[in-house]
Amino acid sequence: MPRRSGNRIVKALESCIEQAKAARVAPEIIENMCRSRDMMVKKDEFTQEASSSHSKICGEIEEATYTRDWKADYDQGKTQWHFQPGMLCGQVEGQLLKSLVSIHRAKRVLEVGLFTGYSALSMAEALPADGEIYSLEICESLKPLVQNLTKDSPHAKKIKINSELLTPYPTFVDSASELLTPYPTFVDSVSELLTPHPYRITHTLPYVCWFVYFTGPALETMAKLADAGEQFDLMFLDGEKKDYVHLLEMSFDRNLLSPGGTVLIDNAYMIGTAYTSSDDTSPAHILKDLVKSRKDLHSVMLPMNDGVLMIRRLKDVERDTA
Ligand SMILES: C[S@@+](CC[C@H](N)C(=O)[O-])C[C@H]1O[C@@H](n2cnc3c(N)ncnc32)[C@H](O)[C@@H]1O
């Protein structure tokens, strides 16, 4: 059975119920509050039950994501952030992505935010044998984890991660370790300092290092892909939320999105701030205002999980009458 999505409204209602009990509110009012919470829970359960199940390997990825000690990874400097399992999009959204890949007959998909590979594999399962999903992930240590988690899937070969997309830069392991063998402490300490940043040592001579920006961060890599004239039929943006506006402009204005293509933006409610905050300058409002102000775009907000905003070119949605 898939994990339940963490519904924020259910959590808010649960905290209200606890407060009401502590304040000895009339039992019939508490009962009404419990009924409202149960309606939300049952709606989520029904939604999951009415949607197709994920594949066996996606199920294993989900389990591994929920049981992993992400705090230990963070404390040991293996990850930039203390990841949370709830970052994974889950069964219903995964099946939506899979359906859209199939409806589009997509051959090339671009994803920002690989995490443990759940959404990437869900989409890869609907791609044809020669289809590709390019996934951009800033946290390099996730790549070997995903490769291990997906190794038994026949669809794993369709998933290309970060440096496989562009001419790979020489990495620290390729070049630096040999040249700097006499200075291991120096290399170790510089590498450690670099861990949270998207830079890597590429060439070294004693006491001198060259650094390059690694290909993980979405904005830079997408700009390079656009420069190279690459195009994608479907794009799933699920990385750094503040980048969304730039990523969107890159998709439509630099034609990274193929004609007839679709962009999906995850967490468009931005942890609920879209509808709980009246701050017009919040990233959620800026994104919404941008999309609404562009007369060449068509958008629909899918109210699942933390909001999935689906955007297409208007000319691909509204057809001529003649
Ligand atoms: C919400 S998780 C992605 C979940 C995944 N799409 C899924 O549903 O299984 C977000 C991921 O984006 C990555 N990320 C954040 N900012 C990024 C950036 N600027 N470039 C590339 N990846 C980024 C994070 O490291 C994290 O792994």
Q: Is the pLDDT of residue 88 over 70?
A: yes
From 181, 159, 137, select the one nearest 57 (Cα to Cα): 159
Question: Rounded distance, CA 311 to CA 307, Å?
Answer: 13
Instruction: Tell me how far the alpha carbon of residue 136 lies from the centroid of ligand 1, in angstroms.
Output: 8
> Under a CB-based contact definition with an 8 Å cutoff, are residues 58 and 115 in contact?
no
Which atom of ligand 1 has the smallest separation from the CA of 116? 9
Q: What is the pLDDT of residue 307?
A: 95
pLDDT band at 218 (very low <50, low <70, confident <90, very high): confident
**Structural tokens at position 45:** 């359960």
Q: Kind and range of the H or E element at 93? A: helix 90-104
pLDDT band at 212 (very low <50, low <70, confident <90, very high): very low
> Under a CB-based contact definition with an 8 Å cutoff, are residues 273 and 306 in contact?
no
Mean pLDDT value of segment 70-93 = 94
Tokens 């369709």 -> residue: 158
The domain locations on the chain are: 8-50, 56-166+217-317, 172-213
Pocket of ligand 1 (CB under 6 A): 87-89, 112-116, 118-119, 136-139, 142, 216-218, 238-240, 243
pLDDT band at 92 (very low <50, low <70, confident <90, very high): very high
Q: Is the pLDDT of residue 51 over 50?
A: yes
Give the DSSP per-residue string, 204-255.
EETTEEEEEE-S-SHHHHHHHHHHTT--EEEEEE-S-GGGHHHHHHHHHHS-
Which atom of ligand 1 has the smallest separation from the CA of 115? 27
Q: What is the pLDDT of residue 172?
A: 41
Least confident of 59-73, 127-141, 169-183, 278-292: 169-183
Handedness of CA 291, 51, 35, 270 (dihedral sign): negative
Instruction: Tell me how far the alpha carbon of residue 272 lies from the centroid of ligand 1, in angstroms.
Output: 19
CA-to-CA separations, 49 to 42, 75, 99, 131, in angstroms, rounded = 10, 37, 16, 29
Q: What is the pLDDT of residue 18?
A: 93
Q: What is the pLDDT of residue 205?
A: 53
What's the CATH superfamily of 56-166+217-317? Vaccinia Virus protein VP39 (3.40.50.150)
From 300, 291, 295, 301, select the one nearest 314 (Cα to Cα): 295
pTM: 0.83
Mean pLDDT value of segment 135-158 = 95
Q: What is the pLDDT of residue 8?
A: 81
> Under a CB-based contact definition with an 8 Å cutoff, are residues 13 and 37 in contact?
yes
Q: Is the pLDDT of residue 216 over 70?
A: no
pLDDT band at 9 (very low <50, low <70, confident <90, very high): confident
> Under a CB-based contact definition with an 8 Å cutoff, are residues 118 and 89 in contact?
yes
- Site to probe by mutation for ligand 1, drawn from 84, 111, 138, 222 as the one with most ligand atoms within 8 Å of Cβ, is 138
> Under a CB-based contact definition with an 8 Å cutoff, are residues 250 and 238 in contact?
no
Least confident of 207-221, 246-260, 292-306: 207-221
